[in-house]
Structure 1
Amino acid sequence: MTAAVADAPVIVAARRTPIGTAGRSLAACTAADLAAAVLTDLAADARTGTGPRASLREVVLGNCMGPGGDVARVAALQAGLPIAVPGLTVDRQCASGLAAVVLGATMLRGEVGTVLAGGVESASTAPWRSWPPRGDVPATRYERAPFAPSGLGDPDMGPAADLIAREHGITRAQQDEYAARSHARAMATQRAEGFAAEIVPVGGVSCDQRPRDGLTVERLGRLRPAFDPAGTVTAGNSCGINDGAAVVTLVDAATHRRQGGRGLRVIATATAGVDPRRPGLGIVPAAEQALDRAGISLGDVDVVELNEAFAGQILACCAALGLEPERVCPQGGALALGHPWGASGAVLAVRLFSQLARGDAGRYGLAAIAAGGGQGVAMVVEACG
């Protein structure tokens, strides 16, 4: 082990809320409510003795569609964290949660302390947005901010996924098969209580809402294309619109050595850009760069967690990476669990922690996620302790 790896920050705890379908189980919770529930849990975590309060340097949260302002600061105060602890909210669209974890790890390189980092999204309570009137143009409501300048291409994610699937020759049947497998894996994990240790109940809700039992390729095959009548992307092989939060506790290497216990050492990270017309491919260069910086190959990775925004997009990324699709999200991914945009990257980190630190799934893990505007974020971790 090199000195740089030995001194890398370590994830020592990881929690998330249940993931709810927008407008349903968590609909009454704001983004701050969801994040505060997880921050409160981690701040008092018995796993770190008296919790990380005494050494807490920062709270960093990713968020895309929240109320504006600094959601991380509001959630930290709502969680009862000391007022001296600052909060920072970051926006890298769907990659915001993992970007926050990467930023938290960067803050601890060469420094001593604890950072709580993750992401949150409440699609249910996201405010309506509108452009103000301009001259003869009336006020106009809009669903999202631009991902990229229109001249470069600024597609919605669904049509972009159709384009990627078509260009990479991913068939409808392949997408439906992948989606059915994600749901089957998530249901099997849920029945075995494989998510229980990572979930912080909120408002009486203690399990993920979206996974479906018995969702077969045949049932998925009855759904119509969602974005293009000639396309292959449907509601069944796409992620949902969801609410949720996920946060990890990061400590410096010396603190981890002193405290002991299992954890995930953050040995490499990467952020990359791709064609904004094909944003879902951002996973590919980010994962490649992170693995190269870690000095390992995909063959060395024991658990691969890629954000399953669309089955066709993930299958295209797998083809580009030379990765067998069966290796992705072994306990089910976002197609089944849901995709709470600003939180999803942090959910990947929580999932790695459950499998590699709480469980015995192996040594190395890879998390990677794409984002609107053509970006990708990836992180390579190593089980330690």
Structure 2
Amino acid sequence: MNKAVIVEAKRTPIGRKSKMLQDYQPERLMAPILSYLSKDITHYIEDAIIGNVVGPGGNIGRLSALEAGLPLSIPGMTIDRQCSAGLEAIRTACYYIQGGAGSCYLAGGVESASTSPFPTRARFAPDSIGDPDMGIAAENVAKKYHITREMQDEYALLSHERSWDAFNKGHFNSEIIAIDEHDKDEVFNQRRDMSRMMNRAKAIFVKENGTVTTTNSCAINDGASAVVVMEEKLAHKLHYKPVLRFIDSYVTGIHPHFPAISPVSAIQELITRNDLTIKDIDLFEINEAFAVKIVACAQELHIPYDRINVSGGALTIGHPYGASGALLVTRLFHEVQRRPTCKYVIAAIGSGGGIGLATLFEVI
């Protein structure tokens, strides 16, 4: 079987909906990433596989490739698996390489919530099952798994502190491709007293005994991220230094009322079928749509916080739906280069409708 490796990974700065990047359609967010990643290798690229969730519809993969000035022969494809879309794009490219369909792909995700033409979200489940909003679903997980507001606020504050620490150390600089004059995540324009804000925040989805607040939830955001996935022998031929080797992935479905817990079963199956344990995984990147997701996943899988989202995540920087899964892999790509003892890492995400997706990489 061919081996798929990640040889480069980049992202845009992340902006808040209707703010810093509000005038950029999704193809304009993705184009600078694709242009950078494809430099000197356009002859080898088989396709650009891009995740996107909230529009405007059409083939954003093709549109982004054309916007980036890539050769007309690179067709472009768009994937929608809700918040898992960007990670699904990367795993799809890895499987194509393993199966011999091609040897080089651009893969990732993009979201422009600011320019989306859709006033409401798509449906996650039929009426016969029930289709709760994500905040209500997060409260469902908090209740079922006995996750208190205090536990959520504690993790959210930790995530904010980690993000700011990583920003101040310049760790995000290697990840980001500037969009015009925008070269840093919008959240880092001003530091706020998150501890005070958390104490004052009120529950926003369930008024009585609610635990999910604006400060232990992510924002709605714009941004893009993508990676170069290559067959390992080609990577060496082209003098790339592979960083992550794709080992396996697993996607699963659970009840749509509890999507925040969906990464658990995906991660469990992934490590079991690869004869690993949780202790064998050095770093986890799990999307922080809600603090309750990370608290519940850590609790159920017995993962210590010092191995989850070590440079913060979506609770601070934001959650541009279709891009978020690719952001996880981009973060791992750069994080392991600062941590030479890492051997195995996992990126995982849960999506509306009760979908959990996890990918396992070996650090080269």
Q: TM-score, normalised by structure 2?
A: 0.95
SS of residue matched to 2:77 = strand
In structure 2, the CA distance between the partners of 1:186 and 1:361, relative to structure 1 (3 Å rule), is farther
Q: Is the 8 A contact 1:173 1:221 kept in 2?
A: no
The separation in 1 between residues aligned to 2:8 and 2:186, in whole angstroms, is: 24
Confirm or deny that 1:153 pairs with 2:148.
no
Deviations 1:255-292 (A, max 9, x none): 13433514200111111101001111111111112222
- Gap regions ≥5 residues in structure 1: 45-49, 130-142
Match for 1:225 among 203, 208, 218? 203
Greater mean deviation of Cα atoms: 66-75 or 321-330: 321-330
Alignment of 1:1-385 (within 5 A): 7-44=2-39, 50=40, 52-111=41-100, 112-129=102-119, 143-210=120-187, 213=191, 215-230=193-208, 231-258=210-237, 259-357=239-337, 360=340, 362-384=342-364
Whole-Å separation in 2 of the counterparts to 1:294 and 1:337: 32
Instruction: Find the residue that maps to 2:183 and give its secondary structure.
Output: coil
RMSD: 1.5
- Structure 1 residue 294 displacement after superposition: 3.1
Q: Report the Cα distance in structure 1 between the residues aligned to 2:118 and 2:286, rounded to whole angstroms.
A: 30
Give the Cα–Cα distance (whole angstroms) in 1 for the partners of residues 282 and 183 of structure 2.
28
User: Is the contact made by 1:243 and 1:340 (CA closer than 8 Å) also made in structure 2?
Assistant: yes
How far the C-alpha of 1:219 sits from its partner, in A, is 2.9
C-alpha contact (below 8 Å) 2:54/2:118 kept by paired residues: no
Maintained 8 Å contact 2:55/2:118: no
CA deviation string 1:21-61 (max 9, x = no partner): 111111111111111111011111xxxxx2x2111001000
Q: Structure 2: which amino acid aligns with 1:224?
A: K
Distance 1:370 1:176 in 2: 20
SS at match of 1:12: strand
- Hey, what does 1:137 align to over in structure 2? none
Q: Flag the 1:361–1:333 CA change in 2: closer, same or farther, 3 A.
A: farther
Q: Tell me the TM-score normalised to structure 1 length.
A: 0.90
**1:359 Cα offset (Å):** 5.1
Summarize deviations over 1:130-180 as a string: whole Å, max 9, x none.
xxxxxxxxxxxxx01110111112111001101111111111111111111
Letter matched to residue 103 of structure 2: G
Give the Cα–Cα distance (whole angstroms) in 1 for the partners of residues 339 and 30 of structure 2. 25
Name the CA distance, whole Å, in 2 between partners of 1:269 and 1:334.
22
Find the residue that maps to 1:270 and give its secondary structure.
strand
Counterpart-to-counterpart distance in 1, 2:183 and 2:104: 27
Contact in 2 for aligned 1:184/1:215 (Cα 8 Å): no
Note if contact 2:197-2:215 (Cα within 8 Å) is conserved in structure 1: no
Count how many residue pairs are aligned between Structure 1 and Structure 2. Answer: 360
> Which stretch of structure 1 is more off in the superposition, 324-333 or 374-383?
324-333
Unaligned runs of 5+ in 2: none
Instruction: For residue 110 of structure 1, report the CA deviation from its aligned partner.
Output: 3.7
Percent of aligned pairs with the same amino acid: 39
Q: Aligned partners of 1:359 and 1:77: how far apart in 2?
A: 37
Q: Secondary structure at the match of 2:185?
A: coil
Aligned residue for 2:147, secondary structure, equals coil
